[in-house]
Structure formats: C-alpha cells, structure tokens
Amino acid sequence: MRVDKWLWAVRVFKTRSQARQACASGRVTVNERVAKPATGVGPGDIVTAKRRDRVVVYEVVEPLSKRVSASLAAESVIDRSPPREPRTPQDPSALGQRERGAGRPTKRDRREIDRLRRRR
C-alpha cells in the first residue's frame, strides 16, 4: 500500500494530491525514514506527517486502499500524536476590540483587525 494513498484514505490529508505533495517535500516519514509517495506501508508501521500547525503520528493497523468513512478510518489506525497545546486566551485589545470613543479604525487598523481574526 502506498503511503500517499494511505494518508488520504485515513483522512490525514483532504486530497491525495496534498498527501503526495507532503511526501515529495519530505514532511512524511515511515519508521523514521523520509518517505516518497510510493513508499509502502503495512501493519505495525509508524507514519509521521507534519501538518501546518502540528505533527501527527499514526501506527498502521490495517492498510486501506480506498477512502472509507471516518469511523472505519479511525479503527484502522492508532493515534500516537503528542497532545495539542491548549489555546491561551488573548488580550481583548489583541482581538481587534477598540476602546469606546476611539473613533473609526483607520485602514491600517482594519487590516490588523482582519489579520488577527483570521488567525483564530
């Protein structure tokens, strides 16, 4: 079973092409070795994929060749990923809230507010 196809089948990546690109760019390892898209995976293999904001680590229980429902995909892997860091509450002024009576935001203020809201 190809690692790019398996990552797509167990829903680590939304599309198979995203899984292939991640493998080609070196963000996926199988048993601590950088994996090419055609690298084979089987039961007992440890697959690590670096996503945007976190690293996911899965142990292969059953190689899937086709994309299946989320519940079946969850049964086919053992999640060994480190726990996510809890989100810290931010200062309200950092969220784009302005003091009462401060007037309308400038164009620069508006862009900063939009950028902060997109990050959440």
Q: How far apart are CA 42 and CA 5, in angstroms?
A: 12
Q: Name 56's bridge partners.
A: 49
Same-domain check for residues 93 and 63: no
In tens, the pLDDT along 89-99 reads 665 555 556 67
Number of domains comprising the chain: 2
**97-107 per-position pLDDT tens digit:** 667 777 888 89
Domain with 102 in it? 87-120
Instruction: Clarify whether residues 75 and 91 are in a common domain.
Output: no
Within this chain, do residues 33 and 65 fall inside the same structural domain, yes or no?
Answer: yes
pTM: 0.69
pLDDT of residue 23: 93
SS3 string, the chain, reads CEHHHHHHHCCCCCCHHHHHHHHHCCCEEECCEECCCCCECCCCCEEEEECCCCEEEEEECCCCCCCCCHHHHHHCEEECCCCCCCCCCCCHHHHCCCCCCCCCCCHHHHHHHHHHHHHC
To the nearest whole percent, how much of the chain has pLDDT over 70? 89
Quote the pLDDT of residue 84.
81
Instruction: Say yes or no: 71 and 98 in one domain.
Output: no
Q: Is the pLDDT of residue 24 over 90?
A: yes
Q: For residue range 26-37, what is the model confidence (pLDDT) as tens digits?
A: 999 999 999 999
Check whether residue 58 and residue 95 sit in a common domain. Answer: no
